[in-house]
Amino acid sequence: MPLIIVTGHPASGKSTIVDRLAQKFAESQKECLVIRDDTYGSFSRKNYEFANKEKDLRSWIRSEVQQNLTKNKVVICDGLNYIKGYRYELFLAAKMSKTTYCVIQVTPSADTCHWLNEQKPEEERYSREIIDQLLMRYEKPDTKFRWEKPLFEVKIGKAEKALPAEIDDDMSIDLEYPAPRFANIFADEIVDWICNGTELTENQSTQTVPLAPTNFLHELDRCTQDVVTVLLNAQRTAVRGQNLTIPGASEGSNQVKFLKLRTLPELNRLRHQFVNMSKKDPMTDKERIITGFVDFLNCNLR
């Protein structure tokens, strides 16, 4: 169920880091599924040269993430994920699943990316031009946005050994960061957060709207329009303070107090407000619709 988004430069060692992290989850007895861009059926590094092919790839990754978010599985999305808005879409998928979530950022220098690319088998390499293009397109995560945190930044370089324990990973001295096999990937911190951190919660924008009957909107519009017509006709002969009875509403909640003459635009404005509110919580019964609208009018007519 938890979701980890890995984002970074091309040929930056992301997949090596993900493999190490997946091993850590396995040691913690947690099932882990890795969704990678290169498992897409027609994947090629050249896909990133064509907007339509890249769009299809992103759609496939998003679909795989949504389908595999379950309570018993950690999902790691291993790809470039370089577009801020796309990461937000993946965040919403995790939010709808009410799960824990984090982002791992892997953004070494261009020189390091080109060096790591040369270490790949020839058929898995990016062209130098594609790497440079993707580096220019990359939208760096920013923790001022809620969908970019918690953020774990993994520092990658060319050194074939880990940093000495006494050296701070955020060092200011001129030492080469470790290669992906040796880098500090914050495995313990990530596993702890994913297993014990705060779960995301849905708000109104991510809640699933209940399914309504196919004729719901027609019935809602007709019932509220009938109530408006009854009020306009009844107020012509009504006395101030009189209760106007609305046919079709529940007994005891079927009257609107007449305080002053109401115009059609005024009543229609309230009717549209009630209709928009009702779309979020569909009512299937005609009596409930009319009673709800009468209650709404009594609360808003002053």
Give the domain ranges of the chain: 3-206, 215-301
State the pTM of this model.
0.66
pLDDT for res 172 = 42
- Asked if residues 37 and 55 have their Cβ atoms less than 8 Å apart, the reply is no
Q: What is the pLDDT of residues 53-89, one digit of tens each?
A: 999 999 999 999 998 988 778 999 999 999 999 999 9
Cα–Cα nearest to 176, from 162, 194, 195, 190: 162
Type and span of the H or E element at 109: none
Tokens of 43: 């994947």
d(CA 65, CA 169): 31
Rounded Cα–Cα distance for residues 110 and 86 (Å): 23
Average pLDDT for the chain: 87
Q: What is the distance between the alpha carbons of residues 96 and 209, in angstroms, rounded to a whole number?
A: 12
pLDDT in tens, 172-229: 444 578 999 999 999 999 999 999 999 888 765 555 555 555 577 888 888 999 999 9
**CA 17 – CA 112 distance, rounded (Å):** 15
Cα(54)–Cα(47) distance, rounded to whole angstroms?
6
Class of domain 3-206: alpha beta
Tokens representing 162 are 């880990």
Query: What span, in angstroms and rounded, lies between the C-alpha atoms of 15 and 124?
Result: 12
Sorting pLDDT into bands at 50, 70 and 90, what band is 8? very high
Q: How confident is the model at residue 301 (pLDDT cuts 50, 70, 90)?
A: confident
